[in-house]
Amino acid sequence: MKPAVGDRKKTVRDCLVLGCTCLLIYFHGLGRMQLKCEEPRQALVAREMLATGEWIVPTISGQPYPAEPPLPSWLIALSAAPTGRVTETTARLPSALSVVAIVFLIYWAGRTFLGRRAAFLSGLIVATTGLFLERGVLAETDVLFALWVTAAVLFLFRALHKKPTSGLDWPLAYASLALACLTKGPTAFVFFFGTMLALVWLDKDRASLRTRQHLLGLGVFLAVAAAWVAAVSSQVGPKLFFQSMHGQVVRGIASDSALRHLASLFYYPAHMLAGFLPWTPLLLLALGSLRRYPFGPPRKHLVRFIVIYAAASLVLGSLCAGEPAGYILPLFPALALLAGDVCDRLLSRELAPRLATIGRWCLVVTHAALTVAVTVVAVWCVWQWYVPLAHVAFFSALGLIASLAGYLCAHKKKYGASFAAIVAVVCVYRVAYVTTYVPDYNARESIEHVTGPLKDAMREDAKLYTVSFGQTIVFFYLDRPAIAFKSVSELAAGLSPAGNAYCLLTKAERRKLMSLQPGVWRQVLTFPYRDKRTGLFSKGNLSSRHLGAPGRRRP
């Protein structure tokens, strides 16, 4: 049955609003901030892929780097291929596009099982969730990983609950799982197989795993995995490949620290609630109202599936004692469906009177918290970030007007306007972040006063990047692209006797490097970087007179 013309118009309107919201939040000023944290490593690998044409095994300065799966670097290289240059914008473009894909994927799932308005609200919630705002504009793997895991679990839901099931649901689920593994390794198994086994055990539906479609999907996954393993092993050798895979599993699951075991039990639930802001109160309302609303079969099955998916992932993630990380992000799109559903019922006046009152107060508290947050950020900008007062006053006024207007609308039970005001505050925050915080961050974190004179002295034209591994901030040769080491021991061992080399080290690592190669390195200058006293050390003929006085930095 074809949808009505009016329904199609509403769908087009929803897609336009969702697309414009994502465009404003995730694409405005995408390349203005300099690369930070894990971003330079992804950019460097992608740059070498373009330069060398080596797409199977990632390399850094010609050396194989099989420690990370290649899909994020592939996408960065593809986004940079039209211009031939990896920039801040092209490095972050895959993450921003992944957010857009997640938003429309959730809209499709919500429209199928919850209704059009609930799907629209769920999409807006995904786009404006705190952790997505943080990760969606970084050239890292978290958002891309969340996209493939979300697609895998949604197709898993269709395969288990759509009777009769489509012949493509299982293959699409396993294909998405394979892409998730090519993004972040075997961590995807926790979300996918944990949810699948929990559902099969609860429903006692082991027959679903013996169907031809499931076996076909499993074959797709094994074929992709086998092809990748064979391709990588043929170039770096099976021993090095399986050592890197073993390192990922051990780092993500095992630990010899009892304290880390205990910390994991609390980290992921707390991280989920904190990262879901500003929609956390509505999410708690959705979880608290599950037993009080008479669901129909499609909605009931989806809500039950999301609860099992979140519970299984949280339990298995908490039992893993690896380094706590952003692995909780794949849960957020599914949780947004719950929050969007309760918002839809609040707008439709379908909640019980007591729950409707709680929902109104959730919105009131959210707007009150946003008002306080806008005020605190304004004071912090003036005091710590040295942002022009005119910028602070303008954006703070916009944020306060939107949050206070939403506060009044929530009191008067105009929930749609209150919901729109939350989205407006988030949009104002994002624009203010790009135009006020980013320039100050670039000034504070810049090492141009070191790299600029260094490049001039050595006639080096290549752009230099900071690559962080523990305490070692950056290491580079001047006659070839940047090369990163995991420790100062590897740094010292990897140097050839001849040739000039320079590195930026913190005070804690300086003694270790000096002890490994006494009399080889000498300090050229020191400067504050990332709240640590950092030194530029030279192995060669460079001295402080070549650099001159470093440029003055902001305090």
What tens digit of pLDDT does each residue of 298-338 get? 778 888 899 899 888 887 766 665 555 557 889 999 999 99
Give the C-alpha separation, 69 to 244, whole Å.
Answer: 10
Task: With cut-offs at 50, 70 and 90, classify the pLDDT of residue 101.
Answer: very high
**Within its chain, how far is the Cα of 52 from the centroid?**
28
Where does 68-187 have alpha helices with state H? 71-80, 88-113, 116-127, 130-135, 142-161, 169-184
Beta pairing partners, 329: none
Beta pairing partners, 537: 503, 523
Q: What is the pLDDT of residue 160?
A: 85
> Edge to edge, what strands does the sheet with 501-506 contain?
472-477, 501-506, 532-539, 522-529
Q: What is the pLDDT of residue 472?
A: 39
CA distance to 277, 530, 534, per residue, from 131 (Å) = 8, 23, 31
Kindly report, residue by residue over 174-190, the tens digit of the pLDDT.
999 999 989 988 888 88
Nearest to 54 by CA among 68, 65, 38: 65
Q: What is the pLDDT of residue 554?
A: 35
Q: What is the pLDDT of residue 258?
A: 47
Kindly report, residue by residue over 346-391, the tens digit of the pLDDT.
998 888 888 889 999 999 999 999 999 888 888 887 776 667 788 8
Peptide bond into 164 cis (omega under 30): yes
Identify which has the larger pLDDT, 468 or 276: 276
Residue 518, CB half-sphere, CA atoms under 13 Å: how many? 1
Q: What is the pLDDT of residue 229?
A: 82
Task: With cut-offs at 50, 70 and 90, classify the pLDDT of residue 283.
Answer: very high
Beta pairing partners, 539: 501
Task: With cut-offs at 50, 70 and 90, classify the pLDDT of residue 201.
Answer: confident
Nearest to 11 by CA among 118, 157, 116: 116
The helix/strand count (H/E) of the chain reads as 23, 6
Identify which has the larger pLDDT, 411 or 534: 411
pTM, two decimal places: 0.84
| Whole-number percent of the chain with pLDDT over 70 | 74
**Does residue 286 surpass a pLDDT of 70?**
yes
Q: What is the mean pLDDT of residues 525-545?
A: 64
Q: What is the pLDDT of residue 451?
A: 63
Q: Using an 8 Å Cβ cutoff, are 110 and 119 in contact?
A: yes
Q: Where are the beta strands (DSSP E) in 440-483?
A: 472-477
Kindly report, residue by residue over 51-100, the tens digit of the pLDDT.
888 888 887 766 777 777 889 999 999 999 888 888 889 999 999 999 99
**Does residue 125 surpass a pLDDT of 90?**
yes
Give the C-alpha separation, 372 to 407, whole Å.
Answer: 12
| Range with lowest mean pLDDT among 137-146, 254-263, 319-328, 507-516 | 254-263
- 106 phi and psi, to 5 degrees? -70, -35
Instruction: Calculate the average pLDDT of the chain.
Output: 79
Q: What one-character DSSP code corresponds to residue 60? A: E
Kindly report, residue by residue over 452-503, the tens digit of the pLDDT.
666 665 554 444 444 443 433 444 444 444 444 556 666 666 655 555 666 7
Neighbours of 461 (CB within 10 A): 6
Q: What is the mean pLDDT of residues 521-548?
A: 64
**Does residue 168 surpass a pLDDT of 90?**
no
Q: Using an 8 Å Cβ cutoff, are 344 and 114 in contact?
A: yes
- Measured over the CA atoms of residue 106, residue 287, residue 301 and residue 169, the dihedral's sign is positive
Q: Using an 8 Å Cβ cutoff, are 163 and 218 in contact?
A: no
User: Hey, is 474 helix, strand or coil?
Assistant: strand
Q: What is the mean pLDDT of residues 389-408?
A: 88
Neighbours of 351 (CB within 10 A): 20
| Range with lowest mean pLDDT among 192-201, 231-240, 241-250, 531-540 | 241-250
Kindly report, residue by residue over 217-228, the tens digit of the pLDDT.
999 999 998 888
